[in-house]
């Protein structure tokens, strides 16, 4: 309340590892930019230690492989990633002592590769002409050549399993006994929507799950099946894919993990959005709500605002926000955000006599 000093009391526990802090991310009400006739909440995955939703799958991929003997002590882990999974794996591998090699298309933001290298990973860049399928094939090639453990985020059951066990359960607990009409999410691997879908379809069948993807890379909307290898890996890129600025969303193939959602009808509607829409809403979330997130989060929020337009009064909408905005500094999200003072800022500086720059 206004006039009351905020206090904290601690979490009531101490953590044995940074990995124990993954999950239990907060659901936060949107107060200033949501339409008045609905209630909009966001689940902010940037509160994970690696600052994205991918920390969840990273820890489960590694720990499931440890339990099942597929990953040996000291073995190198290798994975293809647009960045967030690589950062999540780098956090996990640093905490557990595994070497990590990441393959990544050269066009993804430099912040991502620098973060992974700071966390101890090696980053191998692949040509932009070969797209996501190229970085994927490079990871497979390296695993086969060197006997490394391939994380396989796009196919492994460990991906959606962790969202079934954690993300979905958190949502049920946070909305227990309360209305929840819509959950809105994008997809990269599809783990979030598939894991949530398994649980929400049974526990809250009245809740509609809305999927979103880039307008110019509308793979799901196209209805064109994804060619696959026998193990579920992409045999080639998807013909509906075009370059888009929503990093972390929609590689140039439909991942096997997402295919479960498509086959079992875990989503009720599909709303494509443009890159500029995502950038615009990400900026508004930061400037008007104080919620600092990336382009994919803004794009998901854009789809939620479309849902809100036709939603019945009193509807409750939950929006999944995948990551922080700090790994987008070199992307269009920060285009036009000046480093130097504006004329208005200089006028403020000059309004008092002390401590002025020339």
The structure tokens listed for 252 are 């140039």
The structure tokens listed for 101 are 């090699």
Burial of 310 (0-12, 13-18, 19+ CB in 10 A): exposed
The structure tokens listed for 234 are 């992409």
Active site residue 54: yes
* Cβ atoms of 160 and 194 closer than 8 Å: yes
* CA-CA-CA-CA dihedral for 156, 157, 158, 164, to nearest 10: 140
- CA dist 332 and 245 (Å) reads 8
Q: Which residues are paired to 321 by β-bridges?
A: 44
CA distances from 189 to 74, 186, 254, 305 (A): 27, 10, 8, 23
Active site residue 296: yes
- CA dist 50 and 267 (Å) reads 28
- CA dist 185 and 318 (Å) reads 9
DSSP state of 125: E
* Secondary structure of residue 152 in the 3-state scheme: coil
* Secondary structure of residue 147 in the 3-state scheme: coil
Which among 43, 54, 131, 208 is annotated as catalytic?
Answer: 54
Q: Which residues are paired to 213 by β-bridges?
A: 272
DSSP state of 239: T
Which among 52, 109, 296, 315 is annotated as catalytic?
Answer: 296
DSSP state of 231: T
What are the residue numbers of the active site?
A: 54, 296
């Amino acid at each position: 309340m206004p006039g009351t000093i905020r206090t904290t009391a601690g979490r009531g526990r101490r953590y044995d590892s940074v990995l124990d802090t993954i999950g239990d991310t907060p659901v936060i009400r949107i107060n200033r930019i949501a339409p008045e006739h609905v209630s909009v909440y966001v689940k902010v995955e940037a509160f994970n230690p690696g600052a994205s939703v991918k920390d969840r799958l990273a820890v489960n991929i590694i720990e499931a492989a440890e339990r099942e003997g597929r990953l040996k002590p000291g073995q190198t882990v290798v994975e293809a990633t647009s960045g967030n999974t690589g950062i999540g794996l780098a956090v996990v591998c640093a905490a557990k002592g595994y070497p990590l090699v990441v393959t990544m298309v050269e066009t993804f933001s430099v912040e991502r590769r620098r973060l992974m290298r700071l966390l101890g990973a090696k980053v191998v860049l692949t040509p932009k002409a070969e797209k996501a399928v190229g970085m994927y094939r490079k990871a497979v090639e390296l695993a086969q050549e060197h006997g490394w453990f391939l994380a396989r985020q796009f196919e492994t059951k460990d991906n959606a399993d962790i969202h079934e066990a954690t993300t979905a359960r958190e949502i049920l607990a946070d909305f227990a006994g309360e209305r929840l009409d819509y959950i809105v999410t994008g997809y990269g691997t599809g783990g979030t929507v598939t894991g949530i879908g398994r649980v929400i379809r049974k526990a809250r069948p009245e809740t509609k799950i809305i999927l979103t993807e880039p307008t110019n890379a509308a793979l799901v909307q196209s209805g064109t099946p994804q060619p696959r290898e026998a193990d579920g890996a992409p045999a080639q890129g998807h013909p509906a894919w075009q370059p888009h600025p929503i990093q972390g969303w929609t590689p140039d193939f439909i991942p096997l993990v997402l295919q479960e959602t498509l086959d079992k009808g875990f989503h009720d509607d599909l709303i494509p959005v443009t890159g500029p829409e995502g950038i615009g809403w990400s900026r508004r979330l930061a400037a008007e709500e104080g919620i600092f997130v990336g382009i994919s989060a803004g794009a998901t929020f854009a789809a939620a605002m479309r849902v809100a337009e036709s939603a019945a009064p009193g509807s409750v909408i939950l929006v999944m926000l995948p990551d922080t905005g700090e790994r987008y500094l070199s992307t269009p999200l920060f285009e036009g955000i000046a480093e130097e003072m504006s004329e208005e800022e200089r006028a403020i500086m000059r309004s008092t006599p002390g401590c002025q720059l020339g």
